[in-house]
Amino acid sequence: MPLTAAAHTFWFRSRLFGLLTVGLKPAAARLVAQRLSDAPDDAHALATLAHLLAEQGQHPVAAQHLQRLLTLCPDDARAWFNLGYVYEQMGQPADAETAFTRATQLAPRLDRAWYGLALCLIGQERLDEAVVALRHTTELQPMGPHAWYQLARVHAQRRERDQAEQIIQHLSGFEPRVAAQLVRETGLGAAPATP
């Protein structure tokens, strides 16, 4: 008896999960290619293939698959986030910004999208907007050191010493190595030299 479409989808996803779990990415890529041959509109297969291609540095091809996915699922915030990442890797900050912004609109609690947007804005030297995106990120992930690190750097770049030092102090409570890195990079928050 042939498998139903639902059973075939379940089998595909289970098999794919197993291959990826044990690190057999080439076999997973072959399975995804076969699935897309049989079901070209399989959103999960398109997302997985784009992810695998991006990991291999094949960003333009990954972007094509993500764009295809977004024609099928235009409200998929994770796909928009992934497209933003791929565009960022391709050196296309305006396109990355658009994709990250769309992801934040669709999923306002997706901290990675806010962080990606912030990095795009920092790269374009739009620091006021970057602060807003970084604040969203730190609200969503208060113990995530990366956004705090970037926020302190932006404050230092804007010559907002007090804000940067407050963040360094905050980080020293749960990520002392990141705080020490900021002290080395910015010269802020360091203990005064003894005579």
pTM for this one? Answer: 0.86
Work out the pLDDT band at 1, boundaries 50, 70, 90: low
pLDDT digits (tens, 9 = 90+) for 26-81: 888 888 888 888 889 999 999 999 999 999 999 999 999 999 999 999 999 999 99
All domains of the chain in start order, with CATH: 44-126 (1.25.40.10), 142-187 (no CATH)
Grouping H, G, I as helix, E, B as strand and the rest as coil, residue 88 is helix
Phi and psi at 174, nearest 5°, equal -135, -15
pLDDT tens sequence across 117-156? 999 999 999 999 999 999 999 999 999 999 999 999 999 9
* 57-82: burial string, b at 16+ Cβ within 10 Å, e else: eebeebbebbebbbeebeebbbbbbb
Mean of the per-residue pLDDT values of the chain = 92
